[in-house]
Amino acid sequence: MTDIVSRTVDVLDCYEGRDAAITFTLYLCCLISGFYSRKTKLHRSLQRVFHRLEDCRVVLRLYDDLTILRDLFTYELRPGERNWIVRLLKCLHYIAWLGYYPSEHIAWLGEMKMLDVNPKLWDFYTNFFWSTALLTSALWNAYVVLQYMVQQSYSIQRKEEEKKTLIPWTAARNAMLATVRDGTEFIVAVNYLPRGYLWASTLTYIQVGVFGTSSAFLRLFSLFQFHHEH
């Protein structure tokens, strides 16, 4: 019991864990609100909590730009990545996040009337970059899983020859979780785009809640189970 409490505190004590917990809570509110009529007080209250927690996440992300720049340059300066498909998708992923954060900041400042901009236009840019970042992440992680499955068919001799380049089980496991996590969040991200883009603006509160809580739960599960490995 003490170990579970300790690991839970460790997860909530880190930025990513706290963000995942807030995300899980806000999408859970959205999910529950979908079971009630829009005219009911409970539905309106849960939606208010949902939007306030969304605002909370926006404020928490105000200083994440430097983190993404660090991650991009750290990855680009690392010579270990040999696969050009993974490298291309990762670069596109980081570039999308680099576009996402400034767009979100500008949209937020526009809503606060501190900048004379069209918040809806910048919301579109934000959600476009968000969708792109999630899609590229899901694709590169799915490709890693595919590579791992292919290498399982190698002969013992070939495995020994390519020992240094083989994908370990832990990396494949994390990639599988990331594929599902970012894939489900991608479904939510597309829904926030203007109508006409794939399934944009067509999901119900329950559907958004299901996909959102699933993605956030996988983030929390990964941190809770495997945080000690990092």
- Two tokens at 113? 């009337």
**Which residues form the domain of 96?**
2-229
Kindly tell me if the per-residue pLDDT of 35 is higher than 60: yes
pLDDT value, residue 1: 64
Kindly tell me if the per-residue pLDDT of 161 is higher than 90: no
Distance (Å) of CA 57 to CA 64, 70, 160, 165:
11, 21, 47, 38
pLDDT value, residue 210: 97
Provide Rg for the chain, Cα atoms: 20
pTM of this structure = 0.90
Q: Percent helix, strand and coil across the chain, each rounded to 5?
A: 80, 0, 20
Task: Please tell me the total count of domains within the chain.
Answer: 1
First to last CA, the chain: 23
Q: DSSP secondary-structure letter at 40?
A: S
